[in-house]
Structure 1
Amino acid sequence: MEKIRRERRQGQAFVRGSLVPSSTHDQRLLARQGPSDWVHMDPWRVLRIQAEFVEGFGQLAELPPAVTVFGSARTAPDSPEYALGRTLGRKLAEAGYAVITGGGPGVMESANRGASEVDGAVSVGLGIELPFEQRMNDYVDLGIEFRYFFVRKTMFVKYSCGFITLPGGFGTLDELFEALTLVQTRKVTSFPVVLLGSEFWGGLIDWIKGTLLGTGKIAAQDLELITVTDDPDEAVRIIVESDRARSRQRQEEIEATSVQTAEPQ
């Protein structure tokens, strides 16, 4: 019987067998246990982190307007959720958007796959080093591997016009609530967050309304940050309208600045 060798992606590198380390770069960065030699190692980590930012910015800077699609890596290819993600990816591409995902299987693959079916569309995967291997799916045109989650998350936000989130687990929820926090605190503006799949997300929305809003942990207007729908056409329309509104606002600001500059002092 053929022995299966362990394998792992590490940034842009790929290792197998005995070269696979026992921990990831994120784990070693966040670890506080052990000898004090970490004090001397962290400055070198900063350079590696800097390099990841530079690589991500360089690869993604010339993307067309893009939308990030989140969802479970465990979604089966024959499931309704996979079909929904594929339809969404295709419709986003037809509307002129690049589609960004985490680059893995499941919903991520489905959205990349849908985008790849449209001529001239760009399908992007932003992967991450994990303790277990998760290969980049076959429908990614541009794939970047990251060592650190926070660098990868920056790329998702910086190069997206909005997030559309399909059913998923802890990773999906992490990305969803980070996006909501950034919008709520106005770190990003005019940034729609759409939840696709009302049956899956209904319980969460009820809890947000009943518990978070009900106990004063969020304000009533914070509920307006989230849109829930079952219609991929509506999800795309929300993105398009928000994008157009942002473009109009930017143009108005440019015109206002031009008028002020032209006024005699």
Structure 2
Amino acid sequence: MSAPTGSNIPRRFKKQPYGGWKKDTPAGSTADARLLDTQRSSDFTHTDPWRVMRIQSEFVQGFDALSDIGPAISVFGSARTKPENPHYQSGVDVGRLLAEAGVAVITGGGPGSMEAANRGASEAGGLSIGLGIELPFEQGMNQWVGLGVDFRYFFARKTMFVKYAQGFVVLPGGLGTLDELFEAMVLVQTSKVTQFPIVLVDSAFWSPLLAWIKDTMVAEGLVSPGDLDIVQIVDTPEEAVALVMSGKAGLRVAEG
């Protein structure tokens, strides 16, 4: 799209004087009065310039909260997993084993498999981190989160999952879990991160997905065969933790 010209330039981009004010300003309409007016509508918080400030604050908040956590692994999985489901116990075991290895556990902070991983880490005395997201159907932070950070924006939250983790362990899950998985795969594929282990737990659950990618996407030339090597499938929490702690974790593209 070409830049607007002439009379099409929005008024707020046109040259205008700053620092002046009108004489005989009616009471209640000064800048100070508008700032301190508790009856004023909150609609301004939904404008794009204000959103930029809010987005910035979320990044600052996340960086400040997580900058000193040390080595960490992000664990993903379904919020719908019930405690009686075997996947829940797998999450508990993954969290516990990571904590015992001296690694912080980062989850989305919600229920289900996220709660399970936080629980395992917390019960083992490790650092249990939850990165929550504002959703109409989420239940808030689970009780096993020791360090919690809330986000409004998915992209700010996703940055924290990758920036402060040296690998991913992915338990069975739904669309949100797939979203995190494929984004991580793309980051590795495009060398935004390198040798970043992504381990999928439960071959019965994940193998059909990778088989479809191979038989359909690779077969049609839409995905390179080597891209399937970005992820590894295991069946036990012990195998998953062993892989992410194998020494490949944490190697990233050198900064320019």
Measured on the aligned residues, the alpha-carbon RMSD in Å equals 2.0
Match of 1:163 among 159, 162, 168: 168
Amino acid aligned to 1:76: K
What's 2:65 paired with?
A: 59
Amino acid aligned to 1:225: I
What's 1:200 paired with?
A: 205
The alignment's TM-score, normalised by the length of structure 2, stands at 0.79
Amino acid aligned to 2:120: G
Identity %: 59
What's the secondary structure of 2:245's corresponding residue?
A: helix
What's 1:99 paired with?
A: 105
Structure 1: 5+ residue stretches without partners? 1-36, 251-265
Alpha-carbon separation, structure 2, partners of 1:244 and 1:45? 35
Matched, 1:80 2:65: no
Alpha-carbon separation, structure 2, partners of 1:89 and 1:229? 16
Q: Give the C-alpha shift of residue 133 in structure 1.
A: 3.7
Show the 5 A alignment for 1:1-265.
41-119=47-125, 121-243=126-248, 246=251
The alignment's TM-score, normalised by the length of structure 1, stands at 0.76
More helix by share: 1
Structure 2: 5+ residue stretches without partners? 1-42
CA contact (8 A) 2:141 2:148 kept: yes
Q: Give the C-alpha shift of residue 204 in structure 1.
A: 0.2
What's the secondary structure of 2:232's corresponding residue?
A: strand
Q: Give the C-alpha shift of residue 80 in structure 1.
A: 0.5
What's the secondary structure of 2:220's corresponding residue?
A: coil
> How far does the alpha carbon of each residue in 1:35-67 deviate from its partner, in whole angstroms, 9 at most, with x for none?
xx99x9211110110000000000000002000
Alpha-carbon separation, structure 2, partners of 1:245 and 1:138? 29
What's the secondary structure of 1:137's corresponding residue?
A: coil
Q: Give the C-alpha shift of residue 245 in structure 1.
A: 7.7
Amino acid aligned to 1:188: V
Q: Give the C-alpha shift of residue 81 in structure 1.
A: 0.5
